[in-house]
């Protein structure tokens, strides 16, 4: 029996149907983008009155950084729930009794967190760019829409989300308590953001080459995390939270 | 108490079922289990369990709480790995690589129904039909819902269903893939008598269709009613056999006699009889006779002897032991054995 995308789709579809009627998920997915759209907007408005360029670029860096919190928090809250939540609810065992492969379940769960995150984060960035071009001072607008900035946002959104998802699922698989899992995984999702922050805030100079280099490194870390999670994603762990 | 509509007596199960082994299996038995053991650390869940189940058979695993029933089902369902021993499930060797193949041939209804509460009945089934990759998804879902008499509830959210209905949805889910072996882990746990009876009728209908069923329960009347054969499990298997065989093996068969009045000399009447190996007085005018083998042959002889002795017979009946007696006898024995 080999890997089947139709089983992956079954999991994704199930998760989406569940989100739709899950107030916690709706609230997380709605509130986070609103918050992280407002914060950069405020930076932008504040930047209009600011004078020197160092100050301006710090404001811009900060507003872009705020938007990168979305791919860290949204998926980690959802994926931290994914295993332990279903185990508590008793819905994990029936799924594991089907011919599903561990990887199919894992990818299904990950995609179900990844797809909405990417949509939300890109939408927020799009709205932010549109607002900046329309309302901000032309100098500020052009400072925001540089190739390096746009690249950092487009590239790091999925990569940060990937890390947050694998960490969330790994924590979830080994937890016996939903809330502890969520707190731990949000915390564990932030470290890669620090590197991006250093770059955004001009502690390390931002450039297209550096962004691509860091992006490649983060991609490698994500792939390693996937292999790690897949290896520990063993039935007995999933079912009981401990190994027999 | 309000009961849901839609329950116009379940048990309407489509006819036409194959009792033949699935394609690619080695034929013979649906389950072959040899010396299977599972430990969690130093705790023994079940020990040295061996048995065989044929296709079309309903096999019961009967045991008290903590006997290892659920662990046995999970092990045979490839959810957890055995510590030692071997097994063949639906013709496939039990080992980690064969997990998906085995799981595609069987289905398991776990102890708790485990339905997604925020999905409707039909959405729950659709997810599983996709996971089993059944070809004619919508038709299968419809058929499974009709089998458990829930077609009208397809659009209801699962969290709005009663426990009994959830159990029936879980059964429908287990039927989606037309499994070669159906595992039911305490299918009536926590249900009221009416809901239990409905589930029993559904299982009996599946049995009539020739579905191979492995059923765990701690309810004796359930095992007695539904199972062709029963294994009594208490970490290790204590006894395997047909319910009536178990009774016969464990208990001597007896005739219960009630007369209008006491016999003057019971010893003189009973001692000479061929099929009788012992007797006792159970009340002033009642006697218990221990039968050597066949009570049906002994009874007329006893009647003749009594009439000959001038007794007025009110009744002669065979004393029946329920499986409960067998069970309690075994479990008690075991507890005592452990104390020693
Ligand atoms: N994941 C686990 N880790 C450690 N011990 C376990 C685990 N699962 C089961 N056990 C132990 O294995 C033994 C058998 O448990 P199991 O759940 O199989 O019994 P059961 O017959 O299904 O009982 P019940 O009638 O209560 O459902 C028990 O002693 C139980 O505590
Ligand atoms: Mg159990």
Q: Give the least confident one: A113-117, A174-178, B2-6.
A: B2-6
Determine the pLDDT at residue A195. 79
Higher pLDDT, A242 or B41: B41
Q: Which helix (H) or strand (E) holds B171?
A: helix B163-175
Nearest CA in chain B to A104: B131
Joined tokens for residue A105: 């379940």
Domains of chain B (ranges plus CATH)? Answer: 29-247 (3.40.50.300), 252-320 (3.30.70.250)
Report the pLDDT value the prediction gives residue B240, as an integer from 0 to 100: 87
Interface contact flag, B133 A101, Cβ < 8 Å:
no
Instruction: Tell which residue, A108, A77, A153, A93, has the closest CA to residue A6.
Output: A108
Ligand nearest the Cα of residue B218 is: 1
Q: What is the ipTM of this complex?
A: 0.88
What's the token pair of residue A91?
Answer: 């819905």
Window from A11-25, A79-93, A196-210 with minimum mean pLDDT: A196-210
CA B110 to chain A, closest CA, distance in angstroms equals 7
Q: Check: CB of residue A59 under 8 Å from CB of residue A43.
A: yes
- Whether the CB of B71 sits within 6 Å of ligand 1: yes
Q: Give the residue, by CA position, lying nearest to ligand 1 atom 17.
A: B70
Residue B110: Cβ within 10 Å count: 25
More confident of the two residues A79 and B19? A79
Q: Indicate if ligand 1 lies below 6 Å from the C-beta of B53.
A: no
The string of DSSP codes covering A139-196 is: HHHHHHT-HHHHHHHHHHHHHHHHHHHHHHHHHHHH-S-HHHHHHHHHHHHSHHHHHH
Tens digit of pLDDT for each residue in B140-195? 999 999 988 899 999 999 999 999 999 999 999 999 999 999 999 999 988 888 88
Question: From atom 7 of ligand 1, which residue's Cα is the shortest distance away?
Answer: B40
Give the lowest-confidence range in A148-152, A199-203, B255-259, B287-291: A199-203
Instruction: Say whether pLDDT at A181 is over 90.
Output: no
Q: What is the pLDDT of residue B21?
A: 52
Comparison of pLDDT for B107 and A198, the residue scoring more: B107
Please determine, for residue B324, whether its predicted confidence score (pLDDT) is greater than 90. Answer: no
Q: What is the mean pLDDT of residues B298-305?
A: 90
Burial string for A89-115 (b: 16+ CB within 10 Å, else e) reads: eebbbbbbbbbbbbebbbbbbbbbbbe
**Residue A165 and residue A112: Cα distance in Å, rounded?**
10
Determine the pLDDT at residue B25: 46
Model confidence at A157: pLDDT above 90: yes
For residue A205, the model assigns a pLDDT of 65
User: pLDDT value at position A8?
Assistant: 97
The average confidence (pLDDT) of chain A is 86
Backbone phi and psi for residue B36, each to the nearest 5 degrees, phi listed first: -80, 135
pLDDT of residue A143: 81
CB contact under 8 A, A97 and B123: no
Taking CA atoms only, the protein residue closest to ligand 1 atom 13 is B45
Q: Which residue has the higher pLDDT, A197 or A115?
A: A115
**pLDDT band at B266, cuts 50/70/90?**
confident
Confidence band of B2 (pLDDT split at 50, 70, 90)? very low
**Chain segment B117-144, per-residue pLDDT in tens:** 999 999 999 999 999 999 999 999 999 9
Nearest-CA residue of chain A relative to B99? A99
Task: Name the token pair of B70.
Answer: 């659920």
Write the CA distances from B332 to B64, B305, B326, integer angstroms: 11, 38, 10
Q: Which of B36, B61, B71, when mutated, tests ligand 1's pocket best, judged by the most ligand atoms within 8 Å of its CB?
A: B71
Give me the pLDDT at residue A242, please.
60
Mean confidence (pLDDT) of chain B:
85
Nearest CA to ligand 1 atom 24: B65
Beta-sheet strand order (sheet of B236-241): B106-109, B181-185, B212-217, B58-62, B229-234, B236-241
Measured in angstroms, how far is the CA atom of residue B61 from the centroid of ligand 1? Answer: 14
A90 vs B81: CB contact, 8 Å cut-off?
no
pLDDT of residue B44: 92
Q: Which residues of A touch B40 (CB under 8 A)?
A: 244
Shortest alpha-carbon distance between residue A121 and chain B (Å)? 26
pLDDT at residue A225 in the model: 92
Burial classification of residue A58, based on how many CB atoms lie within 10 Å of its CB (0-12 exposed, 13-18 middle, 19 or more buried): middle
How much is the pLDDT for A98? 95
pLDDT of residue B9: 40
Q: What is the pLDDT of residue B333?
A: 59
The partner residues of B258 in beta bridges, in order of sequence, read B286, B315
Between CA A105 and CA B127 the distance in angstroms is: 12
- Position B322 pLDDT exceeds 60: yes
> Hey, which of B66, B67, B74, B81 would you mutate to test ligand 1's pocket, going by the most ligand atoms within 8 Å of its Cβ?
B66
């Amino acid at each position: 029996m080999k890997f089947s995308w139709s089983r992956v789709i079954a999991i994704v579809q199930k998760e989406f149907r569940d989100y739709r009627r899950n107030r916690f998920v709706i609230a997380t997915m709605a509130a986070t983008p609103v918050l992280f759209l407002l914060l950069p907007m405020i930076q932008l408005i504040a930047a209009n009155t600011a004078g020197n360029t160092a100050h301006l670029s710090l404001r811009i860096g900060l507003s872009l950084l705020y938007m990168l919190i979305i791919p860290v928090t949204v998926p980690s809250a959802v994926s931290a729930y994914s295993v332990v939540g279903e185990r508590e609810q008793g819905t994990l065992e029936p799924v594991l009794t089907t011919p599903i492969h561990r990887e199919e379940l894992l990818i299904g769960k990950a995609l179900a967190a990844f797809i909405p995150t990417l949509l939300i984060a890109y939408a927020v960035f799009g709205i932010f760019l549109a607002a900046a071009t329309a309302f901000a001072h032309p100098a500020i607008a052009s400072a925001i829409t540089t190739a390096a900035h746009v690249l950092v946002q487009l590239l790091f959104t999925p990569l940060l989300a990937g890390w947050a998802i694998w960490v969330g699922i790994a924590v979830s698989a080994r937890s016996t308590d939903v809330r502890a899992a969520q707190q731990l995984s949000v915390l564990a999702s932030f470290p890669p953001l620090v590197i991006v922050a250093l770059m955004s805030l001009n502690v390390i100079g931002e450039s297209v080459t550096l962004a691509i280099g860091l992006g490649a490194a983060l991609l490698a870390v994500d792939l390693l995390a996937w292999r790690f999670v897949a290896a520990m994603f063993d039935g007995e762990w999933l079912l009981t939270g401990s190994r027999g | 108490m309000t009961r849901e509509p839609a329950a116009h007596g379940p048990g309407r199960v489509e006819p036409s079922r194959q009792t033949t082994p699935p394609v690619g299996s080695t034929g013979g038995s649906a389950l072959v289990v040899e010396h299977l053991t599972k430990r969690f650390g130093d705790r023994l869940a079940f020990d040295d369990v061996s048995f065989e189940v044929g296709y079309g058979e309903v096999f019961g695993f009967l045991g008290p709480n903590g006997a290892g029933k659920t662990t046995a089902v999970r092990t045979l369902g490839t959810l957890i790995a055995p510590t030692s021993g071997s097994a063949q499930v639906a013709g496939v060797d039990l080992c980690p690589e064969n997990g998906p193949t085995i799981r595609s041939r069987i289905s398991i209804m776990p102890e708790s129904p485990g339905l997604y509460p925020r999905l409707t009945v039909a959405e729950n089934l659709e997810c599983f039909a996709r996971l089993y990759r059944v070809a004619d998804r919508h038709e299968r879902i419809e058929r499974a819902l009709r089998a458990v008499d829930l077609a009208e509830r397809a659009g209801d959210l699962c969290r709005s269903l009663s426990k009994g209905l959830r159990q029936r949805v879980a059964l429908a889910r287990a039927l989606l893939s037309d499994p070669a072996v159906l595992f039911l882990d305490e299918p009536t746990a926590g249900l009221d008598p009416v809901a239990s009876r409905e589930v029993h009728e559904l299982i009996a209908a599946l049995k009539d269709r020739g579905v191979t069923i492995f059923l765990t329960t701690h309810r004796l009347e359930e095992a007695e009613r539904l199972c062709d054969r029963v294994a009594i499990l208490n970490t290790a298997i204590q006894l395997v056999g047909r319910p009536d065989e178990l009774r016969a093996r464990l208990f001597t068969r007896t005739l219960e006699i009630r007369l209008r009045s006491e016999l003057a000399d019971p010893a003189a009447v009973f001692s000479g009889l061929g099929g009788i190996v012992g007797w006792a007085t159970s009340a002033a005018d009642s006697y218990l006779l221990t039968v050597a083998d066949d009570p049906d042959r002994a009874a007329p002889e006893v009647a003749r002897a009594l009439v000959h002795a001038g007794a007025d017979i009110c009744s002669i009946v065979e004393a029946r032991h329920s499986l409960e007696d067998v069970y309690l006898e075994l479990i008690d024995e075991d507890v005592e054995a452990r104390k020693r």
